[in-house]
Amino acid sequence: MNLILRPVAAEFAKILSTRMWWILALVLFGYIALLAGGLSALFGGVESGAISPDSMNSGGGAGLSTLGSLPPLIYSFAASVGYVFPVLLGALATTGEFRHQTLTPTFLATPRRDRVLGAKTIALFVVGAVLGLVGLAASVGVGALVFNGFGIDPLLADGETWALIGRTVLAMALWAVIGVGLGVLVPSQVASIVIVLAFTQFIEPLLRFASTFTEVTADIGKFLPGAASDALVGASFFTLASPGGSVLEPWQGGLVLLAYGLLATGFGYLISWKRDVT
């Protein structure tokens, strides 16, 4: 038991003894709070009649009434927008070991490298879940407050809301695991960060959008990591914005995310982790 608990404890200590985790948590909170607050106020205003739909772009205004219940959509921002943060933290945790040459003391203390990578995956899964809670504190905390202000039911007594919150935490935890995998796959820290930002902010949204044009590509597109994540969480802007697009079941989405994480970590182990440390 000690054989895995010790390296896990060491991995937690590594994350908690540098500033990165709380900087990312802080930015995540601020970003999601702003977004959730702003959009819930906007939609809440339209929904409650405080803002006339006519004052908005006709396209957006018309769609709003068909969106169904707003709160889950806003709450899901924690993952559907915030997922880039656990990926970054996971990627920094692995690439940092290469960059600062801390693989040497790490492998001296734990010569079984598979255990070290396993321990890192477990630790990042937990820290990713914590980031999920931080994101939810922002999206649910601020969102529910605003909805209350507009007299809209924030659905906090609804079991389905709490299930969504649970699935969001899981999604964020899995994203951190994907980050670890990416970090071993691309050990260069700069390259890893560029890939995370380019893929999550630009490439994948484009791919997901493009994939909705035909049925065949839509069937492939639903397996993109972001799409799988939204499927797991169960509500997102993206899925609503492309109603025709096929969507995975939540549990399928979870498995797809997990598969991405484990595949990347497995290949990364072979490509970089097992290599000579010189």
Partner 1 sequence: MPIGAVIEFSNITKRFGQTTAVNDLSFTVEPGRVTGFLGPNGAGKTTTLRMLLGLVTPTSGTATFGGLRYRDLPRPLDTVGAALEAASFHPGRTASNHLGVYTLAAGLPRTRVAEVLQLVGLAEHADQRVGGYSLGMRQRLGLAYSLLGDPGVLVLDEPINGLDPEGIKWIRGFLSSMAAEGRTVLVSSHLLSEVQQSVDDVIIIAKGELVHSGPLSSLDTNVAPQVIVDSPTRETLIAALTDAGLAFTSGRTGLIVAVPDPGQVGHIAFAAGVELSVLHRQKAGLEDSFLALVEGGDSL
Residues binding partner 1 (CB under 8 A): 2, 6-7, 9-10, 13-14, 17-20, 96, 100-112, 276-278
Q: How far is the CB of 123 from partner 1 (least distance, A)?
A: 11
Measured from the CB atom, the residue of 26 and 112 that comes closer to partner 1 is 112
Measured from the CB atom, the residue of 23 and 62 that comes closer to partner 1 is 23
Measured from the CB atom, the residue of 63 and 275 that comes closer to partner 1 is 275
Measured from the CB atom, the residue of 19 and 244 that comes closer to partner 1 is 19
SS (H, E, C) the chain: CHHHHHHHHHHHHHHHCCCHHHHHHHHHHHHHHHHHHHHHHHHHHHHCCCCCHHHCCHHHHHHHHHHCCHHHHHHCHHHHCCCHHHHHHHHHHHHHHHHCCCHHHHHHHCCCHHHHHHHHHHHHHHHHHHHHHHHHHHHHHHHHHHHHHCCCCCCCCCHHHHHHHHHHHHHHHHHHHHHHHHHHHCCCHHHHHHHHHHHHHHHHHHHHHHHCCCHHHHHHHCCCHHHHHHHHHCCCHHHHHCCCCCCCCHHHHHHHHHHHHHHHHHHHHHHHHCCCCC
Q: How far is the CB of 118 from partner 1 (least distance, A)?
A: 13
Q: How far is the CB of 92 from partner 1 (least distance, A)?
A: 11
Q: How far is the CB of 222 from partner 1 (least distance, A)?
A: 39
Q: How far is the CB of 176 from partner 1 (least distance, A)?
A: 19
Measured from the CB atom, the residue of 148 and 188 that comes closer to partner 1 is 188
Measured from the CB atom, the residue of 18 and 48 that comes closer to partner 1 is 18
Q: How far is the CB of 249 from partner 1 (least distance, A)?
A: 40
